[in-house]
Structure 1
Amino acid sequence: TGEVSPSFLAELGVRFVEIGHAERRRHFGEDNTMIARKVRAADDAGITPLLCVGEETRDERSATGAGRAAAFVHQQIAEAVGGDWSLASRLVVAYEPVWAIGAAEHAGARYVAAVVGSLRRLLAAHSHEAGSALGELPVIYGGSAKPGLLPALDGVSGLFLGRFAHDAENFGKVLDEALSMTALPEALQRT
């Protein structure tokens, strides 16, 4: 990831591109300036940027930890879009606490819900600038995400799977969970 031009990806029909993953930041030195360039280039090519954001330090037991994490993530998003909140309206946000990536356990469901809820409130404050409801932006969770987690997460739009998606059975379980949470269209309910 991170080495293919957006125009080439667009020619291939790619609709989403992951930008800003913690491993790209750590191993390749990608900073917020580079990530902002990539977000803009993907958007210019008609590809939806899936922006990876997340705090480095675990603070989920602190009463104010979720608020601090949300503020940090909000700042990452602001820098990734260069303050252009209309560009932010075209993102999918992958909230992935760096400390949870590859860990034995994911972040606690209440903590994730608190971070995402606080983040949605912070984003909603920019809705007028964006011309759309930023508080409703898709926010997916990653960071040791696995079967059984999605139903426990409030306010999250989906999961950003890593190693657990490499196992077809685990991936199938997550898909089944997602499908069970999705309301069927009325036409299908009658059949």
Structure 2
Amino acid sequence: MTTTPVSLTSTKMNLGLRETEEWINDVLLPRADALARLRFCACLPHPVLPLGARLLRDSGMSAGAQNVWYEAGAFTGEVSAGLLAEVGCTHVMVGHAERRRLFAEDDRLVGRKARAAAHAGLIPVICVGEPERLGHAETVRYVRRQASAALDALPHETPAIVLYEPVWAIGSAQGADPHQAAAVLDALHRAAGGHHDVGMIYGGAVVPGTYSSLRRLAPWDGVALGRAAQDSALLDETLGELLSSRPVDTPWVRVE
């Protein structure tokens, strides 16, 4: 099925409650028509998710979470997938590089979280990426292992997004080489195997021109935005680029 590219962002812990409200009202909602065409999802910290879901309702955009626990019960400080769905989330990130590094989350745990999200009706955004600049073959093996561990935990019919974001590119001025990224995309498709509803997007130092550069070599389904999502000028330029690109096949999302 042919659609425009897809996009999302994570605010991490960079915005407080009032700042999140101002960002949604002043930056996202005035661009709702364009962002809705990208099925844009804003992944927010747990305390502001109800606010985000309410503000984004009926805009064509959605609110997602940045983390989830894989079962219900006495897990103080954690949040279940069922609760995230109840407050209005549509997506949840699992396995972000910062959680793998700071909280020692391994591939097995990421797979459990992805499965829990899917069972609750959420779309898991499976984050993968090499921790440092590696050689071509080593990068491909590293990322494919991460993706396979999570995708193998999901039923084949489950919608999912794999976000390839090299750890060394997060917050930097330069992203992955398009040729190496193309090889990674091929490995991700192989890891997906029989999964039919998996979108593959790139993140890491995404600025205007990044998507076009990547798409010249490989059929990426979209990009995850960092600072470009909070800078009005950068966002306008990036939106123009994404929406003027040739449509791509993204079977995990349905055109209404």
Shorter-chain-normalised TM-score: which range?
Answer: 0.7 to 0.9
1:86 aligned counterpart, secondary structure: coil
Rate the CA distance shift 1:4–1:167 in 2: closer, same or farther, 3 A: farther
* Secondary structure in structure 2 of the residue aligned to 1:15: strand
Pairs within 5 Å for 1:12-161 = 12-59=87-134, 62=135, 65=136, 67-81=137-151, 83-84=152-153, 86-87=155-156, 90-120=159-189, 122-123=190-191, 126-127=193-194, 130=195, 132=196, 137-153=198-214, 154-161=218-225
What amino acid is the match of 2:174?
Answer: E
Return the letter of the residue paired with 2:144. Answer: H
Name the SS of the counterpart of 1:138 in structure 2: strand
Tell me by how many angstroms 1:34 deviates: 2.0
Q: What's the TM-score, normalizing by structure 1?
A: 0.79
What are the superposed Cα offsets for residues 36-81 of structure 1, whole Å, 9 maximum, x if unpaired?
Answer: 221111011000000000111213xx5xx1x332222221122224
1:81-107 deviations in Å (ceiling 9; x for gaps) = 4x3463585220000111111122111
**Residues 104 and 159 of structure 1: CA distance in aligned 2, closer, same or farther (over 3 Å):** same
Q: C-alpha distance in 2, partners of 1:27/1:84? A: 23
Runs of 4 or more off by more than 6 Å in structure 1?
none
CA distance in 2, matches of 1:111, 1:49: 25
CA deviation digits over 1:120-139, x for unaligned, max 9? Answer: 2x236x32xx4x4x7xx311
Give yes or no for contact 1:94–1:160 (8 Å, CA) kept in 2.
yes
Q: Which moved more, 1:1-10 or 1:172-181?
A: 1-10
Cα offset for 1:10? 0.7
Alpha-carbon shift at residue 13 of structure 1 (Å): 2.4
1:171 aligns to what? 235
Q: Does 1:162 align with 2:226?
A: yes
Residues 167 and 91 from structure 1, CA distance in 2 versus in 1: closer, same or farther, beyond 3 angstroms? same
CA distance in 2, matches of 1:108, 1:72: 16
Give ranges in structure 1 of 5+ residues lacking alignment: 184-191
The equivalent position to 2:86 in structure 1, one of 11, 17, 22, is 11
Maintained 8 Å contact 1:93/1:139: yes
What's the % identity of the aligned pairs? 40
The change in CA–CA distance for 1:84 and 1:5 in structure 2 (over 3 A counts) is closer
Q: Note the residue ranges of structure 2 that are not aligned, 5 or more in a row.
A: 1-65, 68-77, 248-256
Which has the higher relative contact order, 1 or 2, with Cα contacts under 8 A spaced 6 or more apart? 2
Q: How big is the shift at 1:182?
A: 4.5
In the alignment, residue 205 of structure 2 is paired with which amino acid? S
- What secondary structure is seen at the aligned counterpart in 2 of 1:34? helix
Distance 1:84-1:21 versus aligned 2 partners, 3 A rule: closer
Once residues 43 and 123 of structure 1 are traced to their aligned partners in structure 2, the CA distance between those partners, rounded to angstroms, is: 18
Structure with more helix by fraction: 1
The alignment of Structure 1 onto Structure 2 pairs a total of residues equal to: 169
